Amino acid sequence: MMSRFILTLLAATQLASLYPMPVSAQETAAHAFTIARVKYDGGGDWYSDPESLPELLSFVRRETLVDVAPEEEVVELSSDNLYSFPYLYLTGHGNLRLSETEALRLRHYLESGGFLHVDDNYGLDTYLRREMEKVFPERTFVEVPFDHPIFHNVYSFPNGLPKVHEHDGKPAQGFGLFDGNGRMMVFYTHESDLGDGWEPMTVHEKPEELRQAALQMGANILVYAMTN
């Protein structure tokens, strides 16, 4: 997927004024690829669970041998560096606001082969759905069935997402936005709070079994994104 992603971007030179194409970070990076956390406007805490991604990336590197950089970068959707990252992660508790330009850039990024994982840390749902309508007004989130490869490609989750944090006591759900060929461009984990499970046990005091399940599901998401 990474090579297709980069080639598509290089071919889109006519869009350079709106979507400037930076030199890919892959050319100089010591690792096969790097993921990025999305910094967004609106007041939501995009930076929440700061230890979650390093813990997940350490697990993925150790358990799957995927050569992902051990630390994430931070990127704004308006940044020229957006296309350097094949995988974006977005989380938070509160409001999320995308400008018209950011929505257009995110749409182009996703349609060009990029992947976005949104992990609701509680309170993000209403704002996320509103803003994703700007990105894809013709598409809606659909619940991902439990037999989808994202739940089985490395570790098996026959009942879907692990429930890490109770919040409202509702079941954990995974929603997807798919392109016209059936590729999942966005995976939205709702009422699960995987990020809380990824952080060190001392932060949220989750049972180790539950923390391992969260890390395993995170590995599934990353591997799915990089192979589809």
State mean pLDDT over 101-120. Answer: 97
State mean pLDDT over 12-36. Answer: 53
Residue-wise pLDDT tens digits, 27-84: 335 899 999 999 999 999 999 999 999 999 999 999 998 999 999 999 999 999 999 9
- Strand ranges inside 9-126, DSSP E: 36-39, 73-76, 87-92, 115-120
State mean pLDDT over 95-112. Answer: 97
Given a cut of 50, whether residue 24 has pLDDT beyond it is no
- Strand ranges inside the chain, DSSP E: 36-39, 73-76, 87-92, 115-120, 142-143, 173-178, 184-190
Residue-wise pLDDT tens digits, 111-127: 999 999 999 998 899 99
Higher pLDDT, 28 or 181: 181
Classified as helix, coil or strand, 61 is helix
- First-to-final CA distance of the chain: 6
Domain count, the chain: 1
Long-range contacts made by residues 166-171, C-beta under 8 angstroms, separation at least 24? 167/122, 167/191, 167/193
State mean pLDDT over 177-201. Answer: 94
What is the pLDDT at residue 204?
A: 62
What is the pLDDT at residue 29?
A: 54
State mean pLDDT over 74-97. Answer: 96
The partner residues of 68 in beta bridges, in order of sequence, read: 33
CATH number at residue 39: 3.40.50.12140
Give me the chain's average pLDDT, please: 87
Helical axes 125-135 vs 100-111, angle rounded to 10°: 80
State mean pLDDT over 186-195. Answer: 95
Residue-wise pLDDT tens digits, 129-150: 999 999 999 999 999 999 999 9
Residue pair 189/118 in contact (Cβ under 8 Å)? The answer is yes
Higher pLDDT, 216 or 166: 216
Question: Which residues form the domain of 41?
Answer: 2-227
Among the listed ranges 22-26, 41-45, 221-225, which one has the minimum average pLDDT value? 22-26
Dihedral pair phi/psi, residue 25, rounded to 5°: -65, -20
Given a cut of 60, whether residue 1 has pLDDT beyond it is no
The model's pTM is: 0.87
Residue pair 35/68 in contact (Cβ under 8 Å)? The answer is yes
